[in-house]
Every structure is written in structure tokens, then in C-alpha cells.
Structure 1
Amino acid sequence: MTPWEVFAVKYADRNARTRKDSFLFDDNHNQPHDMDYFIWVLRQRDEILLVDTGYDQEEGDRRGRPIRLNPAEALAPLGIVPEDVTTIIVTHLHYDHAGGLRHFPNATIHLQAAEMAYATGPCMCHGTLNAPFTADHICEAVQRLYSGRVIFHEGDGEVREGVTVHRTGGHSDGLQVVRVLTEAGWLCLASDASHYYENFLEEKPFPIVVNLGDMLNGFKTIQRLASSKELVIPGHDPLVRKLFPSHGPDHIVRLDRGPEKVFLP
């Protein structure tokens, strides 16, 4: 199999958080704890797969969470034109992962069936559970469904040779992670199956959780899918940009050759 190039593209951050926002159980809840927001690009020759879309300025203004770059602008240094993107793997439908779907009008999305059922089902009657979702984003996904541009997976599925998806649940009921064959080995884009390295390395649950058992099992799954712990890529950890080499602008890092620095036990 031909390996894929993989890039993490940062488009936003939140630097007024504390550890209580990141860990359900922690002894240092009042300490600062920054968060980065990423989308990911898989590239093999002329083929581009996008993993998640981030959220745009409009959504950032609505939630009081400003972005640094609109997703389309953030992707431009990689030569990606939004209208040319035809495949997007959506790890889950939270606003910061599916909030930019409308900017990629020609894309078919790969999604877990359980995530669509969850985001459009009776659990959304509860404000605590629907808070990470935005109705317009869910409607966009439904419109893709009715135009024949949603491919559903139930558990494990193959998107391309060397690119597979795997449902973990936990943070959102249909959360899926992406396994990618790279030059460095099998890499796992964990998305929100582990927001930070510390979540999966120390089995510290993230506070936004639908099923705690699934989240804890997911910490094991993402390590099993990757060739090594160093190739598990958390969804929001600023350490990713410190461990992996930059690729052009400082908001893009290259993941497929492995980290430049290793800190994991």
C-alpha cells in the first residue's frame, strides 16, 4: 500500500481555559490549560481527503470563541481550494468539527450512522447534550444525506486503501477516529476520542462525555490502532505543534514522518 501524507492545520485556539475544562478528575483544576483547534489533511499524489472542517468566523462570533483563520484560508497554503474537496471524513458533528461543512459544497461526507441518529434524536432535547452541536450544521449534514452525499459507517469502515474509520463513541455517541498508513507507520487521528495526550496516557476522561465506559475503552482503541503511542494524534493538544515539524506557515505541521521530539513514556 502507498503511504499517505498527513497534516494538522490549526485554525483557532482558546487560551483562557483551566484544567477543569479538560479533565473530569484532576488535582490541579485551577491551573491554566490551553486548547488548539485543528482540521487534518490526508494527501496521496493528487488525492486529498479532509478530516473535519472546523468552524468559521460566524460560528465563532455566535459562541464567543473567535478563530484565527477561516478553515478555507487555513488550508490555502496546502493548495486546497474548498470547491475541489470531494471527500470529508467527519469524526463527529460537534460545532468545532462539522461547523464548516457549508464551505465545502461538493464534498461527500463519511459519518458514523450512530452520530447522525444521535444528533437528530431525542437526546437533543437535553440542553447539556445538544450544547456542542449547532442546528444549522446538522441540517447541512441532513441536506447532504438527501442529495446522496453521505456515506455511513457502522463501526469499522474503509474510506480508501490505507485509510479506515473506527467508532469509539464516548465524547459523542457516534464519534469515529481515523487510521492512516504513513511513512512512519499506522497513525491514528484520535480527534476527540482524546483531546490531549494526557487523556489517553493517564486515562483521564474529558468532561463532555456521553458514555464514560466508551470513552475509557476508546483510550485503549486509539493506542491499538496506531503503530506506537507517538503516532496517536490528540484532537486539541498544543503539544502536537511542538512535537511535529512545521510545514510552511506555523499553523501547519506534518505528521506522517513522525515527531521530531519524543516525550511520551
Structure 2
Amino acid sequence: MDFFVWAIVGPNGTVLVDTGAGAETMTERGHDHLRSPLAALADVGLGAGDVTDIVTTHMHWDHAGNILDFPQARLHLQRAEMAHATGPSMCSGFLRRPYDLQQTIEWLRELHRGRVSFHEGDDEIAPGISIHHVGGHTPGLQVVRVSTARGNVVLASDAVHYYENLVAENPFPVLVSTIDYVAALNTVTRLADGPGHVIPGHDPLVLKRFPAARPGVDGAVALHLEPASVNS
């Protein structure tokens, strides 16, 4: 299982989609921490000051950390996600497990600083960049559609953990609604311009299918370029 952070680079700044987790959190959860989002951005010539907005697809621990590394960026979240992550659902150990308390505290602090923009449903973040509320994996899960030179690419996050979840219509087992998860697969398919335009949230095949973002940089690919194959 890979963990991705995506940078959408446009004429007016960079929109970051998800912010991963810190080294301590990754280790506690039993995963290898390769590098921080800041370090990954530096590999492709970007810095924290270039990031104007952050779209957090949902508040699970592997998507919602490191927001303090980007103090000037506006944070975009579905209202339903914050309500879930800070409400009665957290009384359940099963529903609480994918959330990280310290990350949630950071989010609440930034909320009180006035950095968070809440959305209810679909919205446009910037020209050519839109968010779409799908639910399923979490009540407030949102996917991101980006207009690129090769068409509309959908950063599906955990609406599609692996390519196989979409191909086989087989949900990943961490979810709050199977019905909404299956509906999300249909939404992602409709929003994208083809199978090669859907980017799963955790599939290592993404790094194999797409060309490198910059020569000599490992672990960073360019989604606006055509994939080598959707079957490899």
C-alpha cells in the first residue's frame, strides 16, 4: 500500500490534495515513512509558499496530517467529514480507529484560526479544479477532478483504494456505507475521461503506470501525461 500526496500546479499557485502523515504517526501505524510532503514537493521544485490551497479528501490519519507545514494555505473539507470526525461516531472504536487525535486537534486549532473552508457537496476550488462529495469510505469523502492537457483526471483518494476496487466493483473493507461506496465508483467513472484518468488512493501501480515527474526523481509521477498502460 502506497500513500500519495498530489500537487496541482496552475498559473495562480499550487493546490495540494491531501497531506499524508508525519513520521511518528506512520511508525505507530506500522508503515514506512519515506519522506514528508514538503520534501516530496522540493523534489519537483516546489515549496510550502507555493501552496495556496489544500483539499483534504477526508480526515483519516494518512490523509490529514502535516497541515502546519503549510501555514498560509486555505484548507478545504466537506462539512460532513468534520462532523463525523468530531461527533458521536468517535464513540465507536471501529469508526474512531482511522482518525488521529493529534491531527484532529490541529484541525480544530486551524479552524479557530479561520483557515478552514467547509463545503457541502460539489464545488470549484479554482478554474479546472473541482471537488465532488461521494461518501462511502467516510461520510465526507470527496474526490478531486482536474482538467489537464490529456483530459479530466480524477484523484479518487479512498473512493478507489486500488484499481481492482473499481474494475471488480469490490469495495475496500474500511467504509461506513457499502451502498455509497458503490455509488462513488460510478461517480468517479462518470467524472473521469477514461480508465487511465482515474487515480486510486493507495495503489503502487500508479507509480509504475505513469512517467516520472522529473528525471532522476523516484516516487513522483506526472498525471497530466499519458500512462504507459492501464493494464500493466
TM-score bracket relative to the smaller structure: over 0.9
Aligned with residue 134 of structure 1, among 89, 97, 100: 100
After TM superposition, the structure 1 = structure 2 runs for residues 168-183 of structure 1, keeping only pairs within 5 Å, are 168-183=134-149
Deviation of 1:84 after TM superposition, in Å, equals 4.2
Aligned mates of 1:187, 1:43 — CA distance in 2: 14
**1:233-256 deviations in Å (ceiling 9; x for gaps):** 101111111111012212100001
Deviation of 1:167 after TM superposition, in Å, equals 0.7
Determine whether 1:94 maps to 2:64. Answer: no
Q: When the two structures are superposed, what TM-score results if normalisation uses the length of structure 1? A: 0.84
Aligned mates of 1:210, 1:89 — CA distance in 2: 21
Deviation of 1:257 after TM superposition, in Å, equals 2.1
2:2 aligned counterpart, secondary structure: strand
Deviation of 1:180 after TM superposition, in Å, equals 0.5
Aligned with residue 202 of structure 1, among 139, 161, 168: 168
Partner of 1:259: 227
Cα pair 2:153 2:197 within 8 Å, conserved: yes
Aligned mates of 1:104, 1:62 — CA distance in 2: 23
Partner of 1:3: none
**Structure 2: unaligned runs, 5 residues or longer:** none
Partner of 2:85: 119
Aligned mates of 1:150, 1:76 — CA distance in 2: 25
Aligned mates of 1:258, 1:132 — CA distance in 2: 33
Cα pair 2:80 2:140 within 8 Å, conserved: yes
Aligned with residue 55 of structure 1, among 11, 14, 21: 21
2:188 aligned counterpart, secondary structure: helix
**1:54-82 deviations in Å (ceiling 9; x for gaps):** 11112122223221112211221122222
After TM superposition, the structure 1 = structure 2 runs for residues 205-224 of structure 1, keeping only pairs within 5 Å, are 205-224=171-190
Aligned mates of 2:30, 2:163 — CA distance in 1: 26
Deviation of 1:46 after TM superposition, in Å, equals 5.2
Aligned with residue 70 of structure 1, among 36, 47, 69: 36
Instruction: Report the AA paired with residue 162 of structure 1.
Output: G
Instruction: Report the AA paired with residue 173 of structure 1.
Output: P
| Runs of 4+ with >3 A deviation | none
Partner of 1:31: none
Instruction: Report the AA paired with residue 150 of structure 2.
Output: A
Q: When the two structures are superposed, what TM-score results if normalisation uses the length of structure 2? A: 0.95
* Higher RCO, 1 vs 2 (CA within 8 Å, ≥6 residues apart): 1
